[in-house]
Amino acid sequence: MNSKIVILYTEGTYHTAEKIQYRLEIEGLQVVLKNDDIFKDINYYTNPNDYVVLLIPSLKYRGYTYKENILKMINEFNYRDINFISVNLGKKKDPLLNRTVSFNLSQGENKTIDMLVAYLTNIQFLDFEKITPWTFEELIVSLLKKMSFNIEATNRRVDDYEVDIIANSTNRNQLIGTFKNKWIIECKFYKHSRIDVNTIKKFTYLISEKFPSYRGILITNGIITSAAQEALEIMKAKESVSIHIVDGSRLKELILKYPELVMKYFTTDGEV
């Protein structure tokens, strides 16, 4: 693993940070411990493709400035392609961290640390630079099947549009029982760019005009710009469509739940 892991510990979490550091170093990973009062200097300690693990006792009683610093740090990491992971010692995850990879130690410290170590050990193989756009689509199909989606069609031509994946899923609600959702899934693979406003507009139009009874999922290996995220919310309200975006960070989190997918699509010999 060429990248390093920077563990930011907070007051009262130093011993947990040491425990995580020890476990990761056993796996041969490069780990650095830093106190979280270096928020203002974190850019000097990190490079693209590094991982920052922030240990948080609880954000409930933290001041506005502390939360604002975390949000700024997360946005900066997204821009610089630095991976952010939160490790919560409190019982509830703060909404501020909803779009980050997160582990909760209150659900069992040793078990959660095992999961975190497995995540950071396997993720070294999960490099989208190793695959092609066609392999990326195959990966998404395999992932959807693992998640109990039923694939109806792939690469179907509809007028001037090529729909990557048409699928359905069976869901259950205690109030109304079992029901099905229908999905149009777009796969966007990027080497050096990000989802932009124009991509969002095209996908929104496809769902609203060609598949009004379907929900949409746009899956990418990259990140969504703040302008694109804002445009998505506006167009969802305007066109009354249900569209979700799975960005690269969330996609990695999902893939890592299935180590066999990492072995199949990201290693040359099929073995991690």
Residue 269's pLDDT band (cuts 50, 70, 90): low
Confidence of residue 239 (pLDDT cuts 50, 70, 90): confident
Average pLDDT estimate for 5-26: 90
- Please state the rounded mean pLDDT for residues 52-58: 83
pLDDT, tens only, 75-112: 888 777 788 888 887 766 667 676 678 888 877 888 88
- pLDDT beyond 70 at 270: no
Maximum CA extent, the chain: 60
H or E segment to which residue 64 belongs: helix 64-80
Run of H or E residues at 101? strand 101-104
Confidence of residue 147 (pLDDT cuts 50, 70, 90): very high
Distance of CA 23 to the CA centre of its chain: 23
* Confidence check: pLDDT of 136 > 90: yes
Give the residue, 115 or 44, on which the prediction is more confident.
115
State mean pLDDT over 54-63.
70
Question: Does pTM top 0.75 for this prediction?
Answer: no
User: Span 172-179, mean pLDDT?
Assistant: 78
Q: In the structure, what pLDDT confidence band is assigned to residue 271 with cuts at 50, 70 and 90?
A: very low
Residue 61 has pLDDT above 60, yes or no: no
Average the pLDDT over 194-212 and give the result: 88
Helix (H, G, I), strand (E, B) or coil at 118: helix
Q: Please say whether the dihedral angle defined by the alpha carbons of residues 23, 27, 28 and 34, taken in this order, is positive or negative.
A: negative
Q: Which residue has the tokens 């990491």?
A: 77
Grouping H, G, I as helix, E, B as strand and the rest as coil, residue 245 is strand
Query: Which amino acid is present at 52?
Result: V
Domains and their CATH numbers in the chain: 5-125 (3.40.50.10490), 129-266 (3.40.1350.10)
The reported pLDDT for the residue numbered 102 is 84
What does the pLDDT read at residue 39? 65
* Token pair listed for 41: 């200097």
Looking at residue 65, what is its pLDDT? Answer: 73
The two structure tokens encoding residue 51: 């991982």
- Give the chain's length: 272
For the ranges 32-41, 199-208, 225-234, the one whose mean pLDDT is highest: 199-208
**Over 90: is that where the pLDDT of 223 sits?**
no
DSSP per residue, 145-205: HHTTEEEEEEEEEETTEEEEEEEEEEEEETTTEEEEEEEEEEEE--SS--B-HHHHHHHHH
Whole-number Å distance between alpha carbons of 127 and 267: 9
- Work out the mean pLDDT of the chain and round it to a whole number: 84
Distance CA 107, CA 185 (A): 33
